[in-house]
Amino acid sequence: CDINEICPHDFVCSKPNELDALVFGHIFTIITTPLLDNKLAMIVRDHPKLVNLCKRIEIRYFQRTED
């Protein structure tokens, strides 16, 4: 299944929805959790739209700020 066939445009418009949150939670965990076998993370990284979705959500909603 090619993610570009499912959604030819970038994910997340101006306001993320429940699906964006669900995808973010799963994909972020897969690509940031160190495991002995990172095959799944390597497969996910072959889909830049999913990785970019995670980066955009992380930066927009979880960026740390100095107090």
Domain range annotation of the chain: 36-61
C-beta atoms surrounding 54 within 10 Å? 22
Stretch (H or E) spanning 42: helix 39-45
User: Would you mind telling me the total number of residues written for the chain in this entry?
Assistant: 67
Residue 1 has a pLDDT of 45
Per-block average pLDDT, block size 10, for the chain (67 residues)?
A: 48 72 94 93 94 88 74
Q: Tokens 């002995």, residue?
A: 36
Strand, coil or helix: 18:
helix
Radius of gyration of the chain, Cα coordinates, nearest whole angstrom: 13
What is the pTM for the complete model shown?
0.70
Residue 10 has a pLDDT of 55
